Amino acid sequence: MKRVKKLALTSISTLFLATAFMLMGSVPAKAADLIKCAYPFWFGFAPTQVAAKLGYFAEEDLEVTWVFDNDRANVYPALDTNEINCTMRTIGEHMSRPLTPDSNLVVIGVIDVSVGADGVVGAPGINSVTDLIGKTFAGEINHPGTVMTAYALKQAGHSLSEVDVRLIATDDASAVFEDPEVAAVATWEPMLSEIVANTSREGSHILLSSKDFNGLITDVVIVNKQDYQANREKYAKFMRGIYRAVDLYKSDPDKFLEVAAPTYDVTPEAMAGDLGGVYYTSYEDALDFFGVGGHPKLTDVIEGLNDINVDLDLMDAPISFEVMVDPTLTEGLFDGHKR
């Protein structure tokens, strides 16, 4: 699913955020607790809006406001200073600069995993990732498809440096792939399937899909660390609401989609189709990712992404799970609370 700027915030300030939230129709009534979020226009984050619309947050006296913005250059400075309190994006993208071990940010939740929504289209004759060596690969440097390509090459004993990388805007992927010199292009649904179906290059196919990478493309909830440490229960309310919305999707997807789709100006049917490659993470999944009672699944994901991001010069040095993540909020999150 395409992640785009629905509302571009050119300068996030307290005054601008207030205006942006008003434009989104989400200025809060007075509540005991308030969380302000800015994140990409992406169906994977819909549980947040569903939890708000169905009153899951209000039941705990929490107000959550949001604006859509995909630009980290806008979002991260505001998050670091607590002008906004949270964002959501892939863990691999989050790990990239400007994040450092002493950043005032912490991961406290997971919300979805790409299980086919992101991928790479290969040209005829490109049947494995190693067939890309010495050929042209097109994609954005921090795109999930590029990350998957780098990861797969590393697993095969190679690196992306052995490939001629052409940097493009993902929105241009269909046109770029028509160039016979391009051996593969990184993209996402619905463009991923559309390129395969409509390209003039007969025999093109999906070379890599996020469904085969076991959580490598996982979206996480990132918050201001100082505010989180001072107001843990506020963020516990936030995550309970999100996981309750995920529960609704799993038990009654039609109701979830009916509530969620208007936020994205699509029909429930269209949203359902695009969510085919997305897996919403339940509270039980969060326990697994954060290692409550066992080995944290997210540790393995972060270790793999550390290697890739350093190789791609997106990080100066690896950052560990322990530095980046606080799993303690997840343990016993629903003890004594409605689910």
Q: Which of 191, 212, 233 is the last residue of a domain?
A: 212
The string of pLDDT tens digits covering residues 8-59 is 343 444 444 444 544 444 444 455 799 999 999 999 999 999 999 999 999 9
Residues 45 and 190 in one domain: no
According to DSSP, the β-strands at 136-139 and 164-167 are: parallel
Is the CB of residue 260 less than 8 Å from the CB of residue 101?
A: no
Dist CA 90 CA 260 (whole Å): 21
| Domain presence at residue 322 | yes
Same domain, 242 and 310: yes
Vertex 241: Cα angle to 235 and 247 (nearest 5): 140
Please name which of 339, 119, 329, 139 lies closest in space to residue 236, comparing C-alpha atoms. 329
Quote the mean pLDDT of the chain.
91
Cα–Cα distance for residue pair 253/261, rounded to 1 Å: 12
- CA triplet 38, 42, 45: central angle to 5 degrees? 65
Q: Which two tokens stand for residue 1?
A: 């699913």
Domain total in the chain: 2
130 shares a domain with 88: no
> Residue 33: which H helix or E strand, with range?
strand 33-39
Are 41 and 140 members of one domain?
A: no
pLDDT of residue 135: 98
Q: Quick one: tokens of 48? A: 């947040």
Determine the distance from the C-alpha atom of residue 26 to the mean position of all C-alpha atoms in its chain, rounded to a whole number.
22
d(CA 234, CA 227): 9
Q: What are the structure tokens assigned to 205, written together?
A: 């196919």
Give the containing element (helix H, strand E) for 331. none
| CATH number reported for the structural domain that contains residue 177 in this entry | 3.40.190.10
Distance CA 329, CA 334 (A): 10
Q: Which residues on neighbouring strands pair with residue 221, listed in sequence order?
A: 88, 109
In a domain, 339, yes or no: no
Handedness of CA 215, 216, 219, 220 (dihedral sign): positive
| Domain annotation covers residue 196 | yes
In a domain, 229, yes or no: yes
Select from 196, 212, 228 the last residue of a domain: 212
Q: Is 214 left (phi over 0), alpha (psi -120 to 50) or beta?
A: left
Q: What is the pTM of this model?
A: 0.89
One domain for residues 308 and 269: yes
For 232, the domain range is: 14-115+216-329
User: Is 177 part of any domain?
Assistant: yes
Residue type, 105: L
CA dist 317 and 320 (Å) reads 10
pLDDT by residue (tens digit) across 162-179? 999 999 999 999 999 999
- Nearest CA to 221 out of 281, 295, 270, 157 is that of 281
d(CA 162, CA 144): 19
Torsion of CA 312, 205, 217, 279, to 10 degrees: 170
Order of strands, sheet of 182-188, starting from the edge strand that comes earlier in the sequence: 164-167, 136-139, 182-188, 118-122, 205-209
- CA 159 to each of CA 66, 151, 179, 194: distance values in angstroms, whole numbers, following the listed order: 39, 8, 24, 28
Same domain, 279 and 178: no
Q: Of 33, 82, 34, nearest to 226 (Cα)?
A: 82
DSSP 100: -
Q: Are strands 86-90 and 118-122 parallel, antiparallel or unpaired?
A: unpaired
Judgement on whether residues 311 and 236 belong to the same structural domain of the protein: yes
Do residue 234 and residue 170 come from a single domain? no
In a domain, 312, yes or no: yes
- Residue 49 and residue 197 in one domain: no
Q: Does 180 lie in the same domain as 79?
A: no
Last-in-domain residue among 180, 212, 244: 212
Domain identity same for 293 and 152: no
pLDDT tens-place values along the chain, 339 residues long: 445 434 434 344 444 444 454 444 444 445 579 999 999 999 999 999 999 999 999 999 999 999 999 899 999 999 999 999 999 999 999 999 999 999 999 999 999 999 999 999 999 999 999 999 999 999 999 899 999 999 999 999 999 999 999 999 999 999 999 999 999 999 999 899 999 999 999 999 999 999 999 899 999 999 999 999 999 999 999 999 999 999 999 999 999 999 999 999 999 999 999 999 999 999 999 999 999 989 999 999 999 999 999 989 999 999 999 999 999 999 999 999 999
Positive or negative, the CA dihedral 218, 87, 311, 168 is positive
In angstroms, rounded to a whole number, what is the distance separating the alpha carbons of residues 21 and 16?
9
